[in-house]
Structure 1
């Protein structure tokens, strides 16, 4: 690879809001999305909420001349809704389904049935290894009383860990998707601090689009203005995040968003705004070692975020145990009632009443038993994430106690260090 190597990468990301039978003007929007992607000819298009595989197949056929490589990430009952289209050959593909993804009995929210996941594709571009990730995290339905907060923090941690462990041989890391997290939310801060990813909106010097980079804006006719009432300008929950490792440097030359309408026809492509980033990768100039003060500040910030996440997961685990215990008691009561009903039937007394109580009692036992099993699984998932956080937090504290002589590399840049050693 030449010393003056440089690469320009144009990326498109959009939550397409493609719910069959429910999303307004879905077929028309998918058609116009295909026309727009063909016209713009991005290097990568990473889409979320393409819930219908028929929509994906339609886009795949329509985009095949411009984007010969494509993949649809399947998971759960409904599907992850994630898909990618690439101008370049895809070398490897894999995905990770999040352990915790809401509650099955919250049917009207539907996240549990989707099987939310993160998809990974590996590209080789002019000798450079690019790991591109696309994801869609659990939605926030009530900001004041977020019953899914522990799940969403756990998903952010799983996402960060997945990126951390799969990108050690990558030169460039790219993450696009609907994180359903505001920039200052715990999950977003945890993801950025642990992976070292940079936010394109905060890093670019050339931004054009909605105010403050918002990706759900009241000007969009598909957005409920009542839901956005606390946020007059809108909310920013969709991201393009990136970083380069080893000998490379990456910057965001331009970042654009749609502003409540299709740039060409005027009608929105989705209830979310699209993100269009131009990234530039080049060889990194020799850099001086970070000052001890800077390293200590990074460690302190990381420790603070890890501690906050650990506390939130601990609260979620306590709540999961409470529900499991409650469901266990209800199951026990149901079993006792079932034994009583069987005894009444066998004894011949009040036989008709006993038969009438049989079905509700069996339903109670099965329902409460299912709730018990689910919340036990939830508690174990939260416990696992909490244990991982506890381990990392302990290492971070040990590094902090060693003082300025200790380096933050093992915690904040382990991927970069491993990559440099290989080369």
Structure 2
């Protein structure tokens, strides 16, 4: 690469709200989305909540002249809803399905059936390796009583770890998606602190869109106004995050969003606002160091957020074990009831009643068994994430005690040490 090397990358991200039979005007919105993407000709278009594979195939054909490369990430029962369209050839792709994703018995929420995941695309642009990630985390539903908080924190940690371990050979890292996290939420802070990703909204000097960068706004006719009662301006839960390795400098030149309507037709493309970012990658100016040494003062935010996440996962693990214990007691009582009914039926006493109670008793035992197995699996998943956090927290504390001169080069998502060893 020449010293004056520069790369311009235009990125589009949208949660499409494409639930078959439930999302309003889905077919029309998908058609207009295809027209919009063809007209704008982005380098990358990353989409969430494309729940119908038929919608993806429609967009695939419609966008083929402009975006010759595309991929749909499949997982779960319904699917991940994630897909990507690219003007540039895709070198590699893979995905990671989150270990925890809500509760199967919360059917009206449905996240468990979706197989929420993170998808990865590897592209080569002008001699650079770009790792582009697209993701969609578990929805919040109730901010005052968030029963999914531990799951969402665990997903944020898995996402951060996946990026950390798969981006060691990348020159540029890009993450887009609906995180279902407000900027100051624990999961969002954990993701940024561990990966070192920068927020396009906070970094750009040229932003055009709703106040505070909100991506769900009351002006959008598809938004449920009750969900925004506490947030009159709206909420920001969709993000464009990025970083570059040492020797390269990445900046967000412009960031614009829709403001409750699509610029050309006037009708919204979704209940979320679209994000459109222009990123510029170039060699670092001599006076600029994109990967500063993280001394003790700079490590303290990471240690703080790691502690907070560890505590949240610990509470979630205790809750999962409690529900498993309750289910175990129900299983025991159900088995005792079945034994009693068998004994009564064998002796001929109240045979009719015993036969009538047999089926619901078996159903109770089976349901409690499924409940027990799920919450045991939940507790183990949270325990695994907590153990990883505890290990990273221990290393961060050691590095802080040793001082900046003795800190490990690989900690806190810094990839330079790994890349130097590989070379």
Q: Same fold (TM over 0.5)?
A: yes
* 1:394 corresponds to: 394
Question: C-alpha displacement at 1:406, in angstroms?
Answer: 2.9
C-alpha distance in structure 2 between counterparts of 1:189 and 1:175, whole Å: 15
* 1:277 corresponds to: 277
* 2:182 corresponds to: 182
* 1:224 corresponds to: 224
Q: Is the 8 A contact 1:48 1:136 kept in 2?
A: yes
C-alpha distance in structure 2 between counterparts of 1:75 and 1:216, whole Å: 26
Alignment partner of 1:83: what SS?
strand
Superposition map of 1:120-269 within 5 A: 120-269=120-269
Question: C-alpha displacement at 1:416, in angstroms?
Answer: 2.8
C-alpha distance in structure 1 between counterparts of 2:142 and 2:413, whole Å: 35
Q: Is the 8 A contact 1:49 1:80 kept in 2?
A: yes
Question: C-alpha displacement at 1:227, in angstroms?
Answer: 1.2
* 1:9 corresponds to: 9
CA RMSD of aligned residues (A): 1.3
C-alpha distance in structure 2 between counterparts of 1:361 and 1:415, whole Å: 57
Deviates more, 1:405-414 or 1:114-123: 405-414
Kindly provide the CA deviation profile for residues 116-167 of structure 1, in whole angstroms up to 9, marking residues without a partner as x.
Answer: 0000000011110000000000000100110000000000000000000000
C-alpha distance in structure 2 between counterparts of 1:247 and 1:421, whole Å: 16
Q: Is the 8 A contact 2:257 2:276 kept in 1?
A: yes
C-alpha distance in structure 1 between counterparts of 2:289 and 2:177, whole Å: 33
* 2:65 corresponds to: 65
Question: C-alpha displacement at 1:290, in angstroms?
Answer: 7.8
C-alpha distance in structure 1 between counterparts of 2:416 and 2:381, whole Å: 29
CA distance 1:291–1:53, change in 2 (3 Å)? closer
* 1:83 corresponds to: 83
Unaligned runs of 5+ in 1: none
Question: C-alpha displacement at 1:400, in angstroms?
Answer: 1.0
Kindly provide the CA deviation profile for residues 160-186 of structure 1, in whole angstroms up to 9, marking residues without a partner as x.
Answer: 000000000000000000000000000
Question: C-alpha displacement at 1:111, in angstroms?
Answer: 0.3
* 2:106 corresponds to: 106
CA distance 1:245–1:383, change in 2 (3 Å)? same
C-alpha distance in structure 2 between counterparts of 1:84 and 1:377, whole Å: 31
Kindly provide the CA deviation profile for residues 13-53 of structure 1, in whole angstroms up to 9, marking residues without a partner as x.
Answer: 00000000000000000000000000000000000000000
Unaligned runs of 5+ in 2: none
Deviates more, 1:394-403 or 1:182-191: 394-403
Superposition map of 1:34-49 within 5 A: 34-49=34-49
C-alpha distance in structure 1 between counterparts of 2:237 and 2:214, whole Å: 7
Kindly provide the CA deviation profile for residues 216-237 of structure 1, in whole angstroms up to 9, marking residues without a partner as x.
Answer: 0000000011210110110000
Give the TM-score of the pair, scaled to structure 2: 0.98
C-alpha distance in structure 1 between counterparts of 2:26 and 2:404, whole Å: 56
Q: Is the 8 A contact 1:13 1:177 kept in 2?
A: yes
* 2:362 corresponds to: 362
* 2:318 corresponds to: 318
Alignment partner of 1:191: what SS?
helix
CA distance 1:112–1:413, change in 2 (3 Å)? closer
* 2:30 corresponds to: 30
Give the TM-score of the pair, scaled to structure 1: 0.98
Superposition map of 1:333-348 within 5 A: 333-348=333-348
Alignment partner of 2:65: what SS?
coil
Kindly provide the CA deviation profile for residues 174-210 of structure 1, in whole angstroms up to 9, marking residues without a partner as x.
Answer: 0000000000000000000000000000000100011
Q: Is the 8 A contact 1:46 1:177 kept in 2?
A: yes
Q: Is the 8 A contact 2:91 2:123 kept in 1?
A: yes
Question: C-alpha displacement at 1:298, in angstroms?
Answer: 1.8
Figure out how many residues of one structure are paired with residues of the other and give that number. Answer: 422
C-alpha distance in structure 2 between counterparts of 1:422 and 1:410, whole Å: 13
C-alpha distance in structure 2 between counterparts of 1:407 and 1:285, whole Å: 25
C-alpha distance in structure 2 between counterparts of 1:290 and 1:221, whole Å: 43
Q: Is the 8 A contact 1:296 1:400 kept in 2?
A: yes
Q: Is the 8 A contact 1:299 1:408 kept in 2?
A: no
C-alpha distance in structure 1 between counterparts of 2:226 and 2:137, whole Å: 23
Alignment partner of 1:249: what SS?
strand
Q: Is the 8 A contact 2:49 2:80 kept in 1?
A: yes
* 2:93 corresponds to: 93
* 2:385 corresponds to: 385
C-alpha distance in structure 2 between counterparts of 1:215 and 1:4, whole Å: 35
C-alpha distance in structure 2 between counterparts of 1:229 and 1:136, whole Å: 23
